[in-house]
Structure 1
Amino acid sequence: MKKITLGILAHVDAGKTTLSENILYRCRVINSPGRVDNRDTFLDTDPVERLRGITVYSKEARFTYEGVSYTLIDTPGHSDFYKDLERSLYALDAAILVISASEGVQAHTRLLYSACKKLSIPVYIYINKMDMPGVEKSQIMTDIRQSLMIDNPVDMSLDYMEEFSVVSEEYIEKYLDGRFSEDDVADIIEDGLAVPVYAGSALKGLGVEELLHGLSLYSRPHDITGADSIVIRIKRSSTMERMTYVKVLKGSVEVRGEYFGEKISQIRQYNGERYECVDRLEAGDTGYLLGPEKPLAGMCIRDGIEDMYGISMATPVISVAVTSKDTDDILLMRYLKEYEVEEPSLNVSKGSNNKDIIIDVMGKMYLDVLKGKFKERFHIELEYSKIRVLYKETIRGSAMGLGHFEPLRHYAHVELELIEGAYGSGIEVVSEVSEDIIDKNYQANILNSLMRYRHKGILTGSQLTDVKIVLRYARAHKKHTSGADFYEASKRAVRCALNFADNVLLEPYYDFEIELPFEALNRLTFDLNNMGAETNIGVEGDIAIVTGSAPVICLSDYMDELKSYTKGCARMYLADVNYRPCHNTEEVVRSLDYRQSFDVHNTSDSVICEGGASKVIDYMSAIDRYGFYEKESTEDVARLVKSTFIGTIGTDEIDEIMSKTGGQNKGRDVRKVKKTVLPVATSGSSKKVYKAKEKYLVVDGYNVIHAFADLKELMEVSLDAARGALLDKMSNYRGYVGYPVMVVFDAYRVKGGTEHVETYNGNVLVVYTKEAQTADHFIECFARVHAADYDITVVTSDGLEQSMVRGYGCTIISSREFEQLVGSASIL
């Protein structure tokens, strides 16, 4: 049996719930359709929904029609509850978009259609209230085509096969040849090339059967996440049990099985307020899992691995301070955090003064609903204050930042770049660090930390957005680094970068549509100009229609004023919030009076370890202490390798390279890789200069790692950590023996690998060979070219390599012997 999850979407009062009731009645789920005004509908059962006559929470009903099993999701129509609707969209295979014939396409209708289009959800339009006097279907079809920018809305009451076929030449040919079928229509709807339009009256049941028949005929299972299953929302049962609402897309989920590593004790499928327990959910099914506590809305299982899915298409616009006389702040914060699991967009946090409890909401109506919910569940009365528009911050251009976190027995160092992003792009995080510098698992840890944290700007402490964060460099300690260390270092690096950036304050703008008598148009345009709004004006008879966008702070309370001077003869629709540069930045920054030095949870200070104790230093001191990592240029590396292989490097040039590695450790960042500038070698520049030979130690890196017992054991855990440990040993040994040390790692199995040279701790030269070149080959060539000028000792246990370099007069030390020498040096 085909399984379809069907959503019903509409603006307020379009008749969405009435249509749901009639569908359930015709499919024999209920004995008679309920009415919103009678407060007896099947799905709007919450007290606040029946009191206000609107849908606040998405709910499910189940029915079968023409051999198709449906899960019907009735979604909220008011924009204040859009986040609940947005989460439901990812579960849908198809959506019914209800449009009121008397009101036409509204601003919220456009938002809903745009959201479905972004997620490639097939849309079936139902024009409701066609029984109203003065309604003309042709006008509404034109409105749909123009307002929703749909090229091919197809009136399903006519001979629609031909209408569908005109979307492409291929389908026209099939239609003319008599090969155009219902499957082709389904393909066209699925691809969004045309939108079927049905019309009728939900209250009278007109057009409902035709709509259901079309859905059964053309709808198909739909998924854009590529996941095995997705978590849509979290809610509490009437007995306060935590329930995870999921949709299974591949495979199955079973009772007594595991979900996110936790056992499932029960699976429920709700039908209104009633539910039945089932043993399993198959692909296409939705249901509530009891038992798992870990999953959150937006999580998924993809190829058996925990992951995230989805994008946010709407953002809260109001920030509010919350208090309660019935409990203390600690318990209130706990209650809010518990509720935040069900409503993640609340973004519960502490204010910049570290005292206020702040939440974010879509609108003021949601605050009333939240107050009622807390009274019912926690028996406390919420009080609101400091209601303000929710600003955001971004940057222009780019800026570098550094974060160092090294309290005792902890270590993490992060350097990153913030780059200006496009408006509405959110936060993007990427790494441009080689795995030779830091292991990929550590890099993933850093990127996850940067993505999960809600970064704040430094102008007002508002959320940072529309920024690309590029990881440029990072270091870890083989023993003392944990994921929490990188979490601390990365957020400090972001704050450091913001102090060097050109910061921009953003404010939310509403897209609006206002209908009013023509004689009041001059007053409206005067007010909108003072708001800095962008407007378009149209006139239909004696009614003016003004569309455009304006700051939320200016429009949020304007409706009362609009009704006043039009004597109640105006309508205003607000939708599609987007962020733009603030129109009065200086005034807002001054009024909010954010001081980043007081925001201890979002500091730019670094932490170092000095004298066996932790010490906090400011970001400028951290930069002075560690500097920023500079990557070797390809030309520099090429010169060294070329000179080694063709023998054109001279003694003076070797001396300069050796001098680069002759210093001792400076500063506490012993894992810092400094830039090595290698001299240009020109043909004929080699000169034989008689002098006593200086010692030079060349180490076959991986040969030694396999020989040293501790390094071999560490390599089983992380090759990167083993390399770092070897280089630590070589740095210490270099200080003990007093002559230059070179460590060579081969990369002959690394596809596309290129030559790479670094200095480690300022006193050890590290060479990574290129693809198809072994360390043995490099060391043999280096010995052949430079043995006449240097007293070279080679550390390796490779018998063939030993015989080759011994022929050039080099001294040989086996890796086992070298382990004892290094051990003796460390004791001394």
Structure 2
Amino acid sequence: MTSHLKTLTLGILAHVDAGKTSLTERLLFETGVIGHLGSVDSGDTQTDSLALERRRGITIKSAVVAVTTGEHRLTLVDTPGHSDFIAEVERALGVLDGAVLVVSAVDGVQAQTRVLMRTLTRLGIPVLVFVNKIDRPGAQETTLLEALRTRLSPRCVALDTVTGLGTPQAKPVPLPPGEELAEALADDDEFLASYVEGREPDHHAALVRQVARGAMHPVVFGSAITGSGVAALVDRVRALFPARERTDAGDLGATVFKIERGRAGEKIAYVRVHTGSLSPRQPVPFHRRETDGTVTELTGRASAVRVYEHGATPVDATACAGDVARVWGLKDVRIGDHLGLGGAAVAPGFFAPPSLETVVRPADPDDAVALYAALDRLSEQDPLISIRRHDREVSVRLYGEVQKEVIRSTLADDFGLAAEFEESRILLVERLVKTGHAIGLRVPEERVFFFATVGLRVEPGPPASGVAYRLEVELGSLPLAFHKAVEETVREQLRHRPRPVIDCVVTLTDAAFFPPLSTASDFRGMTALALDDALRDAGTRVHEPVHSFEVEAPAAAVSGVLRKLVELRAVPSEPAVTATACTVTGLIPAASVHEFEQALPALSQGEGVFFSEFAEYRPR
């Protein structure tokens, strides 16, 4: 089956408060999906469904909605803009055909906007910049375009100008192809050849090619509140982004980018189909890339498949290439899994893991088991927010303080649990100093012993390599259940130590069992003892997360900025200073980021801009 429908899956990305949720709402209204225009302030938008989203007026969870208009189906993914929810953005990026990056005409380019643009550019995702809020007092055009080119990308090219800027009557006016556009398209071989050969150049065709390559970023203007320019935005998206035919041809290939639970607790997977089709009641093979790079193969059966066609509520249908669907019945599936026979599990994440951690306790001690189960379910929905257990304490990894509030609210609203959170702390890790080895043997004369022999060698691995587990014994030397018990225990113990041990290779060097007495529990217990001894033999060193940073501030502020950075143990590079501004880059401990962000406004007369992203772990 092949339909004549062309599909596009678009991400709507922005810094917080740029107006992307309002833009999504306006797109739905303009295309006839909804008859009433909701607003963030009144808390009745289609895509902000969580109670906390409505209360705070921010997007926390990626939301999906489709618009079928003409021969196109646009599936919109309204992603969070707050840096605390960058993991949600990461998962959406992997399934996009293109992105609309929303920038406020009043607030201009923000630090998080730059982080998003850098990532989109690095991934080669086509980007169209929508300058929102042209009706607001203080809206900019020329100054903003300069900022887009200098702070986002020199490949930003305006397709509009604005009349009535900063008034309720503001509206975009399309610019005819001119010298600026021709100059921007000069990198396109076909466009350049038409000039050389004296033919009339096709500006539109060249622009489409450049946008598809991620080599050019069209800039259009409008207002999500008044609706001005939004219909033109839909036309531009359809005309410029690379659409694909909706077809069921070929083998199934799809990516799971979100997991949620239904009212009855059932698991629901959000899936983007790349090739082939997915129907209910058919067996579905899926593959998962583990932390050590190996690929695990599993099988499930979809009990229901619902496709986003028109609006925020999907309908029962077969999901074909280009569709985004909600899938029930795949109880073992996780975020990032690849559905289909190919086994080409998705690449590692684009964003860094969280660097904060907080201890969570139930307000009622009797709820301890229920709290752990609830947190375990939340970490399933967001694997980067993993939970750790050590000495009866449960810790949760975080990107920031807003995320802590979200977890507290979710525990109360969805699980009826009141939780108390300790002050967040930096998540320190350990790396091995050298190679270590230990063998755990059965010692009958001791009061407690295990019917198992486990020998482990631990070796330092390359930075960012994760934990690799290997065998130096024959696979048949132990029953498979015992092998599984050893590997699972190794991974759990390394992760649940007071400070997780990262970037290492663990090899099973010796193994023996004692039938019929040995059990998987014996191997878990002996593995924990042998691993502790091997780590002591190797020695470990504490490391802290370090961010790379960039600061922009007035030139007069450079000395104060540098002084504060050095005070906070940062390592700044030589500042780039012009007559009016200075830019400083370098490395700063994650523990110091928040304090510097708090100090920057006073150091820069409120004009400083700072952004940082995880760079590495370094010895403390």
TM-score, normalising length: structure 1: 0.60
Which residue matches 2:315? 277
Which residue matches 2:536? 499
Secondary structure of the structure 1 residue equivalent to 2:22:
helix
Picking from 17, 20, 24, the partner of 1:13 is 17
Displacement of 1:59 after TM fit?
0.6
Checking the alignment, whether the CA contact within 8 Å between 1:247 and 1:284 is kept in structure 2 is yes
Secondary structure of the structure 1 residue equivalent to 2:546:
strand
Which residue matches 2:253? 228
Secondary structure of the structure 2 residue equivalent to 1:453:
helix
Instruction: Output aligned runs, 1:354-365, within 5 Å.
Output: 354-365=391-402
Query: Structure 1 residue 346 and structure 2 residue 385: aligned?
Result: yes
Q: Distance in 1 between matches of 2:322 and 2:307?
A: 13
Secondary structure of the structure 1 residue equivalent to 2:332:
coil
Return closer, same or farther for 1:146/1:339 CA change in 2, 3 Å cut-off. same
Return closer, same or farther for 1:139/1:567 CA change in 2, 3 Å cut-off. closer
Which residue matches 1:257? 282
Checking the alignment, whether the CA contact within 8 Å between 2:577 and 2:583 is kept in structure 1 is yes
Q: Distance in 2 between matches of 1:274 and 1:66?
A: 18
- Deviations 1:420-453, CA, capped at 9 Å, x for gaps: 424xx24164869698x989x98xx789948992
Which residue matches 1:763? none
Q: Distance in 2 between matches of 1:452 and 1:135?
A: 57
Query: Structure 1 residue 399 and structure 2 residue 435: aligned?
Result: yes
Instruction: Output aligned runs, 1:421-460, within 5 Å.
Output: 421-422=462-463, 425-427=464-466, 429=468, 449=487, 453=491, 456=494
Return closer, same or farther for 1:114/1:311 CA change in 2, 3 Å cut-off. same
Displacement of 1:345 after TM fit?
2.3
Return closer, same or farther for 1:110/1:542 CA change in 2, 3 Å cut-off. closer
Q: Distance in 2 between matches of 1:216 and 1:195?
A: 15
Return closer, same or farther for 1:259/1:171 CA change in 2, 3 Å cut-off. same
- Deviations 1:30-60, CA, capped at 9 Å, x for gaps: 2354332333322123221121111111111
Which residue matches 2:169? none
Query: Structure 1 residue 292 and structure 2 residue 333: aligned?
Result: no
Secondary structure of the structure 2 residue equivalent to 1:256:
coil
Instruction: Output aligned runs, 1:552-571, within 5 Å.
Output: 552-557=590-595, 559-560=597-598, 569=606
Displacement of 1:239 after TM fit?
5.1
Q: Distance in 2 between matches of 1:451 and 1:258?
A: 31
Which residue matches 2:6? 2
Which residue matches 1:382? 419
Return closer, same or farther for 1:489/1:116 CA change in 2, 3 Å cut-off. farther
Which residue matches 1:769? none
Which residue matches 2:116? 112
Checking the alignment, whether the CA contact within 8 Å between 1:509 and 1:580 is kept in structure 2 is yes
Displacement of 1:256 after TM fit?
2.3
Q: Distance in 2 between matches of 1:190 and 1:501?
A: 50
Secondary structure of the structure 1 residue equivalent to 2:52:
helix
Query: Structure 1 residue 323 and structure 2 residue 361: aligned?
Result: yes
Secondary structure of the structure 2 residue equivalent to 1:580:
strand
Q: Distance in 2 between matches of 1:269 and 1:142?
A: 41
Query: Structure 1 residue 154 and structure 2 residue 157: aligned?
Result: yes
Displacement of 1:320 after TM fit?
0.9
Q: Distance in 2 between matches of 1:6 and 1:488?
A: 49
Which stretch shows the higher mean deviation, 528-537 or 21-30? Answer: 528-537
Which residue matches 1:166? 186
Which residue matches 1:577? 614
Displacement of 1:519 after TM fit?
7.2
Which residue matches 1:144? 148
Displacement of 1:360 after TM fit?
0.9
- Deviations 1:515-547, CA, capped at 9 Å, x for gaps: 777777655443322102234757788887765
The amino acid that maps onto 1:196 is P
Picking from 349, 357, 367, the partner of 2:404 is 367
Query: Structure 1 residue 204 and structure 2 residue 207: aligned?
Result: no
Displacement of 1:154 after TM fit?
3.0
RMSD over aligned CA atoms reads 4.3
Return closer, same or farther for 1:31/1:137 CA change in 2, 3 Å cut-off. same
Q: Distance in 2 between matches of 1:151 and 1:110?
A: 13
Which residue matches 2:91? 87
Picking from 527, 530, 535, the partner of 2:564 is 527
Q: Distance in 2 between matches of 1:73 and 1:528?
A: 38
Displacement of 1:389 after TM fit?
0.9
Checking the alignment, whether the CA contact within 8 Å between 1:394 and 1:457 is kept in structure 2 is no
Checking the alignment, whether the CA contact within 8 Å between 2:106 and 2:139 is kept in structure 1 is yes
Which residue matches 1:469? 505
Which residue matches 2:212? 190
Checking the alignment, whether the CA contact within 8 Å between 1:167 and 1:193 is kept in structure 2 is no
- Deviations 1:538-588, CA, capped at 9 Å, x for gaps: 77888877655422322324555556x579946664442333325xx3xxx
Return closer, same or farther for 1:415/1:13 CA change in 2, 3 Å cut-off. same
* Larger-gyration structure (1/2): 1
Q: Distance in 2 between matches of 1:272 and 1:497?
A: 58
Displacement of 1:367 after TM fit?
1.0
Q: Distance in 1 between matches of 2:506 and 2:206?
A: 46
Q: Distance in 2 between matches of 1:518 and 1:395?
A: 43
Q: Distance in 1 between matches of 2:19 and 2:263?
A: 28
Which residue matches 1:735? none
Displacement of 1:284 after TM fit?
1.5
Return closer, same or farther for 1:6/1:476 CA change in 2, 3 Å cut-off. farther
Return closer, same or farther for 1:287/1:487 CA change in 2, 3 Å cut-off. farther
Checking the alignment, whether the CA contact within 8 Å between 2:256 and 2:270 is kept in structure 1 is yes
Checking the alignment, whether the CA contact within 8 Å between 1:162 and 1:175 is kept in structure 2 is no
Q: Distance in 1 between matches of 2:280 and 2:455?
A: 44
Displacement of 1:170 after TM fit?
5.8
Displacement of 1:237 after TM fit?
3.0
Q: Distance in 2 between matches of 1:496 and 1:167?
A: 60
- Deviations 1:611-636, CA, capped at 9 Å, x for gaps: xxxxxxxxxxxxxxxxxxxxxxxxxx
TM-score, normalising length: structure 2: 0.78
Displacement of 1:64 after TM fit?
2.1
Return closer, same or farther for 1:416/1:347 CA change in 2, 3 Å cut-off. same
Picking from 57, 63, 67, the partner of 1:59 is 63
Checking the alignment, whether the CA contact within 8 Å between 1:65 and 1:212 is kept in structure 2 is no
Picking from 332, 343, 347, the partner of 2:371 is 332
Q: Distance in 2 between matches of 1:156 and 1:494?
A: 61
Q: Distance in 2 between matches of 1:427 and 1:393?
A: 12
Q: Distance in 2 between matches of 1:22 and 1:299?
A: 33
Checking the alignment, whether the CA contact within 8 Å between 1:108 and 1:575 is kept in structure 2 is no
The amino acid that maps onto 1:292 is L
Return closer, same or farther for 1:181/1:235 CA change in 2, 3 Å cut-off. same
Which residue matches 1:244? 269
User: Unaligned 5+ residue runs, structure 1?
Assistant: 586-828
Checking the alignment, whether the CA contact within 8 Å between 1:538 and 1:545 is kept in structure 2 is yes
Checking the alignment, whether the CA contact within 8 Å between 2:354 and 2:398 is kept in structure 1 is yes
Checking the alignment, whether the CA contact within 8 Å between 1:66 and 1:213 is kept in structure 2 is no
Q: Distance in 2 between matches of 1:233 and 1:452?
A: 28
Which residue matches 1:301? 339
Which residue matches 1:126? 130
Which stretch shows the higher mean deviation, 133-142 or 373-382? Answer: 133-142
Which stretch shows the higher mean deviation, 374-383 or 95-104? Answer: 95-104
Q: Distance in 1 between matches of 2:133 and 2:583?
A: 22
Q: Which has the higher contact order (CA 8 A, sep 6+)?
A: 2
Checking the alignment, whether the CA contact within 8 Å between 2:473 and 2:508 is kept in structure 1 is no
Checking the alignment, whether the CA contact within 8 Å between 1:154 and 1:163 is kept in structure 2 is no
Return closer, same or farther for 1:58/1:411 CA change in 2, 3 Å cut-off. same
Checking the alignment, whether the CA contact within 8 Å between 1:234 and 1:296 is kept in structure 2 is yes
